[in-house]
A and B are shown apart, each in its own frame.
Chain A
């Protein structure tokens, strides 16, 4: 975007931070790719890229919904629980066939999303508190429905998890199509503009007559549906429903992807391309450290460094 300010000429430092926030994540991905090509054996293979893409696909799908929620100045902590819930419900209803089971999953996810949205938009509970309640309740419900891991042998489900079109796994296709769809909604639809306005200034949106409550509720429902999609895909890939561990800490991975991708936590801006790149960045980082057999604690430290850098860049930018 043209960097023209009427009031003051931007400082060089501010300009660097601005650049970092907008393009830092892509630069990070590029650096990691180059480093890996040089130092990691067997990195430059189609198979490897496929693996990374398949592993990151569920994170991307969840992060898309998270980006929308964060765009409204909210946060959705219940996404991991929704993934677990969708795993449970899939296992529970797979006896009717894949499609009916998926419909029931969507129903459950929509209910969780509605509950989140209603608490936030109608009751006025802070998003972090509302979705925390659903996070605890959702995972609890998932474990009540299916207390332990269950192997699934449904062939349609299996092909959903491991099948491909012209060598591109369904998981990657799903993530790509959903990312394009969400990006389109944000840029081209009334709903997208309204979402940004609600996130940037709720009172102004209200006084401008926007359907603030409806926007908020829809955003949380969409987030839950996307999380459920990720949950079903992960379950399909594993060919087992594992509500005890599926989606654990997914909310943090998704928030990280969104923030690293340049979407500010203060709302009013949604960067979908950045969010996808943010998820890819974390995936590549983890993969690099695992492939070189570095201690797992390093991965956490490296992730923390990336988040701190992203938040720092965002903060510098916020000081207008």
Chain B
């Protein structure tokens, strides 16, 4: 048997955005019948690569060759015509058209009069979809189908348009387990039919189940490529996170002092079996006053969702949150805030600050009702609080009336912290508090977290920065695919143990999982 033909060859691909080198001199080769895992953390360059391959962006340098011929796509449509199809997390078909119409959009069968041959279209649609395990009335509008079935329609459509390469960007993020199985069998069929598949996911189990080869991206570069079977999970995770296993834990890289410790007190926050459809499947954790609990895991493991679920910003399917023993009404942000929970969201710019309002109004935003009488703002009291926090957190702004949108990232983050500290919270949920802020501000924020914990606040710290997570936390709870897969305490809080737990499927993890499963 001849070696499989090379379908796609990418050489030296680079793309720079203002201030960011999103992709740097990247090589990638795909062969017919290959299922290729593409992985990397946030900002590693995965989406940039996909967008370059599908004609959304044009590369700054490098070339893309399809079947040995250099190509250049000006639009996504051109890429599609050349045989590159993409399945996104969100289905991008037309919800109001029938299933059959969606499947045949743009290449509808016609009868001799040039009219739409609806009968034939329905017949063929039914036959095609049944091979994907989808048995539905194809004359119904697409939106009547479940998300999984819609995804199958999208997939069937991609394959039917003579795709030679199918790119799947987190295709399972909204699928049920049974649907995932069907998807895998379809992927295997595509593979056997000689189609190359690029599979993007953070779920390691899925990668090992379906992919043969892997490319790991980090900071816009390819840091590893080869057969997936040659790489155990731990190595995969460490490659992705950029940590050598042998590397000794460096001390003092962060400003955490660890001066606080878990007091032997009752937990101030207890989350029990939190479940959010497709995101969390029974996450439990507790925080005691004065304790910093780290939340570890890969991208998409459910860290942000856990924080949001505790803060009432995501509707819970089941589970409960209690603050100092008092149960909280689920799914209500105001209720959570009243109980003393404060969330510093991951997406500072779009979910945290109100960019057009002043520093002053941003700081006072949440606490405003407490500073008002009969709906009128007590300006003097607001000024008092604002000045206190501007000073304490050393917020650098030209005046309290400067717009927050004009501040640097670090100062924006401090404004958000001030907003919550003004509420005298009991629990602080910090989701990536130091991402995208300069080193000086980062150190200040880290120091502040220490101080707050020392003052008796319970802190939940989410960070992709392993050092920050390890040095800042008294304890680290590790999530994977929306479940708690381990908890590290005391001397076990090390990079190696953390990565092993994240990677899972090795003796350490198995043991941990048994414990977790029993709990």
Contacts and interface: CB of A to CB of B under 8 A. Distances in A.
A196 B358 CA distance: 11
B354 A268 contact: yes
A5 B366 contact: no
Interface string A167-207: 00000000000000000000011110110110011011111
A204 B372 contact: no
A74 to B, nearest CB: 16
A1 interface: yes
A5 B419 CA distance: 22
A197 B408 contact: no
A4 interface: yes
A188 B351 CA distance: 25
A182 to B, nearest CB: 14
Interface in A5-54: 5-7
Contacts of A196: 354, 356-357, 361
B405 A320 contact: yes
Contacts of B311: 207
A269 B354 CA distance: 11
A209 interface: yes
A189 B357 contact: no
B343 A207 contact: yes
Contact of B372 (A189, A208, A320): A189
Interface string B396-420: 0011011001111000000000010
Contacts of A152: none
B377 interface: yes
Given A189-B372, A189-B377, A203 B350 contact: yes
A194 B406 CA distance: 20
Looking at B333, B334, B356, B399, the one whose CB has the most chain A CB atoms below 10 A away is B356
B376 interface: yes
B96 to A, nearest CB: 15
B353 interface: yes
Interface string B357-374: 100010011101100100
14 contacts: A4-B398, A4-B399, A196-B354, A196-B356, A196-B361, A204-B350, A207-B343, A207-B345, A208-B354, A209-B333, A210-B366, A268-B355, A268-B357, A320-B406
Nearest to A268: B356
B143 to A, nearest CB: 16
Nearest to A189: B375
A302 B405 CA distance: 35
A204 B361 CA distance: 13
Contact of A200 (B336, B351, B355): B355
Given A196-B357, A207-B313, A188 B376 contact: yes
Contact of B353 (A1, A201, A206): A201
Given A188-B379, A196-B354, A204-B352, 17 more contacts: A2-B402, A5-B406, A188-B376, A189-B372, A190-B376, A190-B377, A193-B365, A200-B356, A201-B351, A204-B350, A206-B333, A207-B311, A208-B337, A208-B354, A210-B365, A268-B354, A268-B356
Contacts of A97: none
A209 to B, nearest CB: 4
A268 B419 CA distance: 18
Interface string A209-244: 111000000000000000000000000000000000
Which applies to chain B's interface (DSSP): helix, strand, loop or mixed?
mixed
Interface string A66-98: 000000000000000000000000000000000
A309 to B, nearest CB: 22
A88 to B, nearest CB: 33
Contact of A207 (B333, B361, B372, B377): B333
Contact of B369 (A7, A190, A205, A269): A190
B401 A1 contact: yes
B419 A206 contact: no
B266 to A, nearest CB: 25
Nearest to B405: A320
Interface in B298-343: 311, 313, 333-334, 336-338, 343
B375 A209 contact: no
A206 B368 contact: no
Looking at A194, A203, A207, the one whose CB has the most chain B CB atoms below 10 A away is A207
A190 B372 contact: yes
Q: Which 9 A-B pairs have the closest CB atoms?
A: A209-B337, A268-B356, A4-B398, A200-B356, A203-B351, A190-B372, A209-B334, A200-B354, A208-B366
Contacts of B368: 190, 193-194
Contacts of A205: 354, 365
A217 to B, nearest CB: 16
A194 B407 CA distance: 21
Contacts of A191: 375
Nearest to B423: A209
A3 to B, nearest CB: 10
B375 A6 contact: no
A7 B406 contact: yes
Contacts of A207: 311, 313, 333, 343, 345, 351-352
A309 B355 CA distance: 25
B398 A208 contact: no
A5 B406 CA distance: 6
A190 B368 CA distance: 6
A254 to B, nearest CB: 22
A203 B333 CA distance: 11
A193 B408 CA distance: 23
A211 B335 CA distance: 11
A204 B350 CA distance: 7
A196 B408 CA distance: 22
A269 B356 contact: yes
Given A1-B401, A204-B350, A204-B351, A197 B377 contact: no
A6 B372 CA distance: 32
